[in-house]
Chains A and B, each alone.
Chain A
Amino acid sequence: MTERVRTSADRQLAYEIISGGSGLLLALFMWGHVVLVGSILTGARGFDWLATLLEDYYVAQPAVLAVFFLFCVHAVYAARKVPAQLRERRRMLELARGLERSGREKVATRTDHSPFRPHVESMLWIWQVRTGFVILVLGSFHLVLIGADVFTPLFGDVTGIEAASSAERVAAGLWIPYAILLLCVEFHAGVGLYRLAVKWGAGLWLSRAALHRIEQLIFWVVLGLGALTLVVLAGWLDPPLAFLLEGGAT
């Protein structure tokens, strides 16, 4: 039997599927992640109950490994599209800035028929690259930290993820990198999903403007929930949903 030669087209398609698919999975995971960490809004008991559950049933450990794997795969395959030369990046930035500004000048006489339709997506792509690099650094740090949290209890008598130590860390100053990470991740994921939807033809069902609005809505909702979680973890606000678990032993 003859071995079929992989053509460049085969590879390009595979790269596109891998980078888009890993991005999609990571974006979906991030939404779930924000909801799970949001359990702190019900208080430390709710958070600890969920964390123990996920660790005792060995959901957390493989999840950390899977996310770490997807994280690396996505970094490698999505970064293939970032121009390597500084000169090329400058060219792209200059182009994207010009395109964004030209749709935004205030012109009193501009009509609805103006060919200067607003355009932000080129600049959004550049911001995706920038946030991607921030995520690569801060996300790696976060993954290693949480990896240590969930794996060390397997080898010794240590508690895994728990509200008390998490809150202590966040209050001690970790809220700064976490706030940056949250903003970057939600932006990167939101714009990424919007771009993925347009790329594969969601435009057939929904207009691009509608897709963009949905993306922005999800971005603000998830960012708000994540920010609230961070504020509660830092101890600046009492858990607003604590009444849900009231009545049991505290």
Chain B
Amino acid sequence: MGDDRARRRLTFEIFRFNPEDPESVPHTDTFELDETEFMTLFIALNRIRETQDPGLQFDFACRSAICGSCGMMVNGRPALACRTLTSDLPGKIVLYPLPAFKLVGDLSVDTGTWFRAMSGRTEAWIHEHKPFDPDAVEDRMSDDLAAAIYEGDRCIECGCCVASCGVANLDETFLAGAGLNRVARFMMDPRDSRSGAEWFDIVAGDEGVFGCLGMMACADVCPKELPLLEVYAYLRRKALGARFVKARES
């Protein structure tokens, strides 16, 4: 990156609102900042907080796109602040909190409540009914399957897919990208003993994959570039298959 490129004066328009304060009104504040080399939004926001407004609220922890806490709307699109270079953005940067989640204040949202509810509804844990035998050798799993499960597990639950989803913005129970990805991860896992029929009701129910409109924004905004569209196609085909099996059994 050349020196001339690092000399922009950036304008930040940032959403401000504290739901805890009855006198707070939703509005935007404007800040200006000199761009420096390899500046990320995470660096810029910290600089604004240190030098201009100590009251600015935003979340971060790892600053390396793994904790998933700094998701925010950057010029209309969900992105991780720590992974977004200001050099990839125009000189005016508009920041809003992620929609579809409960607002904590300014750019900070509570993604935990949504993810906790989603985990509860999909029972996103290994279901195993066999009695535990501590002396038994563990079941083997092929490398390919383990890799496929790991691919789904790469989700950092930042909520960018949920915020970009037209359906999830209107319906808080819709599983959205992160939820459907989680369901697929456990469906693939041979250690989970749930049957096709049990999965069918979770995958194909009102909140499941058939609520998806196919707008594909989730896949385009996912900071981890998870193959979400392939995951949905897998779930759709599995649901269709499970339905036929169920029809034959009854």
The answer, among A7, A114, A119, for a CB contact under 8 Å with B201, is A7
**C-alpha spacing A51/B87, complex, angstroms:** 61
Contact check, B217 vs A119: say whether CB atoms are below 8 A apart: yes
| Beta-carbon contact of A105 and B166 below 8 Å | no
Whether A13 sits at the interface, judged by CB under 8 Å, is: yes
Query: Which of A10, A91, A99, A106 sits near B76, CB closer than 8 Å?
Result: A99
Residues of A at under 8 Å CB distance from B?
4, 7-10, 12-13, 15-17, 81, 83, 88, 91-92, 95-99, 101-103, 105-111, 114-119, 121-122, 125, 195-196, 198-201, 203-204, 208
- Residue in A12, A103, A200 whose beta carbon sits within 8 Å of that of B211 in the complex: A12
Q: What's the dominant secondary structure at chain B's contact region?
A: helix
Output the least CB separation between A136 and chain B (Å). 18
Q: Knowing A12-B208, A115-B83, say if A101 contacts B76 (CB, 8 Å).
A: yes
Would A200 and B237 count as touching, CB distance under 8 A? yes
A57: min CB distance to chain B, Å: 37
Count how many chain B residues have C-beta atoms less than 8 Å from C-beta atoms of the other chain. Answer: 50
Given contacts A203-B229, A203-B233, contact A121 B77 (CB under 8 A): no
The 4 closest A-B pairs by CB, nearest first: A98-B76, A201-B233, A9-B204, A102-B77
Q: Residues of B at under 8 Å CB distance from A?
A: 1, 5, 73-77, 79-80, 83-85, 87-90, 99, 164, 166, 169-170, 200-201, 203-206, 208, 210-217, 220-221, 223, 229-230, 232-234, 236-237, 239-240, 243, 250
Would A198 and B205 count as touching, CB distance under 8 A? Answer: no
B230 touches A201 (CB 8 A): yes
Task: List chain B residues, Cβ under 8 A from A83.
Answer: 170
**Given contacts A12-B205, A81-B213, A125-B166, A208 and B229 within 8 Å (CB-CB):** yes
With a cutoff of 8 Å between Cβ atoms, the chain B residues found around residue A13 in the complex are: 204, 210, 239-240, 243
A92 lies within 8 A of B217 (CB): no
Q: Least Cβ distance of A130 to chain B in Å?
A: 14
Q: Is the CB of B87 within 8 A of A199?
A: no
Can you show 24 pairs from A to B with CB atoms below 8 A apart? A7-B201, A8-B201, A9-B239, A13-B239, A16-B210, A88-B170, A91-B169, A96-B166, A98-B77, A99-B217, A99-B221, A102-B75, A102-B77, A105-B89, A110-B88, A111-B85, A115-B80, A115-B223, A119-B77, A122-B215, A196-B214, A198-B233, A199-B233, A200-B233
6 additional A-B residue pairs with CB within 8 Å, beyond A9-B200, A95-B217, A98-B76: A9-B205, A9-B239, A98-B75, A99-B221, A111-B88, A201-B234
Contacts A9-B208, A12-B206, A121-B215; A105 near B75 (Cβ below 8 A): yes
Specify which chain B residues have a CB less than 8 angstroms from the CB of A110 in the assembled complex: 87-89
Q: Who on chain A is nearest to B200 by CB?
A: A9
Residue in chain B with minimal CB distance to A9: B204
Query: CA–CA, A81 to B174, complex, Å?
Result: 13
User: Whole-angstrom distance from the CB of A110 to the nearest CB of chain B?
Assistant: 5
Contacts of B99 on A, CB cut-off 8 Å?
A: 95
Q: Do A117 and B220 touch across chains, with their CB atoms under 8 A apart?
A: yes
**Chain A residues whose CB sits within 8 angstroms of the CB of B201 once the complex forms:** 7-9
Are the C-beta atoms of A198 and B204 separated by less than 8 Å? no
When distances are taken between beta carbons in the complex, the residues of chain B under 8 Å from A81 are: 213
Q: How far is the CA of A9 from the CA of B204 in the complex (A)?
A: 5
